[in-house]
Chains A and B, each alone.
Chain A
């Protein structure tokens, strides 16, 4: 379970998160929607301690993420994260990209990490690209590679930050299909997305961010079909 309580976060004088409360249960898919600059990416990075917080508390399976005593590198093994930019490591093949963290973070032997890599690459439909370098892959393939790389650490949670936003429209579908697959398998996910139909279909709950707070949250279908608050309605009206 991920438990976010009263989280505040500033960059210098700019307060970006102004008291966020959100609890995500095991197996749940929560989509975060909202305008650019509303703090969605920042929240994801606070959840896996890539950013610090000023006050409040974030717990992942009972571990206080921002406690000084928490081993952040170890904590991040529980939390896979995929970003909007394709972050494939360009100097490594697809197989090596996926095997890297299991090899050096978990210390698994090479034979095992290669198997892991082959398994997860096949899982996201890249079974025939094992030895390809990222420059030889399309954007959609690179993004699926990033997902496979995160999965190979066998995380309990996946944090997804607009993973389809930088893709050409015709490549969005293949990445969304991969996310659907994860959802079917019961992966707990917090996904920032602008793909509203996808959110309605896959998410259990949707949270609408506005100006550093969760302005409205509810079951996906309800929030998207009949938003209760004006700002949510305006935002959905603009984006749909």
Chain B
């Protein structure tokens, strides 16, 4: 270790590849959070449903997503579905698995956010003559949004780091690409440090943006 001489030339040479891979990571993160959030909204509503099927579907989804390893979830989408003749590409499998995982966590986050709003708020707003839609949009949603904002930010970061599991099924997102390049150049330390730095920059960017937005939006 002490004799290790850092040689950054290989890293610089392959920097465009790393940046491309980072964009792939970012892309999966953004898509999996957006789709996951859309699913979570539906699941959060079903979770309160009288319909036993919908309730159990949601409960099962949430439990599988949160209480099993994310890697296993990726395997299920990649190898598991493959056994049924549904062959997903590594990209599709990772996107599906991370989305599935996000949806589970986000459902619980949304549920907590809805529970955080005092039900008497809705009653008071209805009492002013607002329609249920107005009550939801102007009174309930802003409060839910604040309650879920920080947990969702954390989930975005979790998803971004979680995409690195994709390398195991051959996806060349940032970690996968890094692993590939270091094996070609025999500069593992430099490449993994560089990748770590890129992850850090991406995560810190999300955090700083979230913090600035929160300071502006949640003065109350």
A positions within 8 Å CB-CB of B: 45, 48, 50, 73-74, 76-77, 79-81, 83, 85, 87, 89-93, 100-101, 104-105, 133-135, 146, 149-150, 153
Name the CB-closest residue of B to A87.
B124
State the Cβ distance, A51 to closest chain B Cβ, in Å. Answer: 10
B positions within 8 Å CB-CB of A: 118, 120-121, 123-131, 134, 138-139, 142-143, 146, 219-220
Contact A133 to B220, CB < 8 A, known contacts A85-B120, A91-B146, A100-B138? yes
B residues near A48, Cβ cutoff 8 Å: 127
B residues near A50, Cβ cutoff 8 Å: 123, 126-127
Inter-subunit contact A105/B130 (CB<8 Å): yes
Inter-subunit contact A150/B128 (CB<8 Å): yes
Assembled-state Cα–Cα distance A153/B128 (Å)? 7
Inter-subunit contact A91/B143 (CB<8 Å): yes
Choose among A76, A85, A133, A134 the residue that contacts B129 (Cβ–Cβ < 8 A): A76
Assembled-state Cα–Cα distance A56/B192 (Å)? 76
Inter-subunit contact A77/B127 (CB<8 Å): no
Assembled-state Cα–Cα distance A196/B219 (Å)? 40
Name the CB-closest residue of B to A44.
B127
Assembled-state Cα–Cα distance A135/B126 (Å)? 22
A residues near B219, Cβ cutoff 8 Å: 133
B residues near A79, Cβ cutoff 8 Å: 127
In the assembled complex, 5 residue pairs joining A and B whose CB atoms fall closer than 8 Å, in A order, are: A73-B130, A87-B120, A90-B143, A91-B143, A150-B128
B residues near A85, Cβ cutoff 8 Å: 118, 120
Inter-subunit contact B129/A87 (CB<8 Å): no
Contact A73 to B129, CB < 8 A, known contacts A91-B142, A91-B146, A146-B124? yes
Please give me the 5 A-B residue pairs with the lowest Cβ-Cβ distance, nearest first.
Answer: A87-B124, A101-B128, A81-B127, A77-B129, A76-B129
Assembled-state Cα–Cα distance A92/B217 (Å)? 11
State the Cβ distance, A86 to closest chain B Cβ, in Å. Answer: 9
